[in-house]
Amino acid sequence: MDTERQKRIERRAYAVWEAEGHPHGR
């Protein structure tokens, strides 16, 4: 299972999402 890899990808996506301004819409 690549749980750590997926967590890293999610963390990176979250960083980009925060950098964009994390819009409240998802």
Q: Which residue has the tokens 């890293």?
A: 8
Distance between CA atoms of residues 24 and 3, nearest Å: 27
What per-residue confidence (pLDDT) applies to 25? 59
pLDDT per residue as tens digits for the range 1-26: 789 999 999 999 888 888 888 766 55
| pLDDT at residue number 2 | 87
All residues at 6 or more sequence positions from 8 whose CB lies less than 8 Å from its CB, including other chains = none
Is the pTM here over 0.85, yes or no? no
pLDDT at site 6: 95
Q: How far apart, in whole angstroms, are the C-alpha atoms of residue 1 and residue 23?
A: 31
Residue from 17, 16, 9, 12 nearest 26 by CA: 17
* Residue 20, pLDDT score: 84
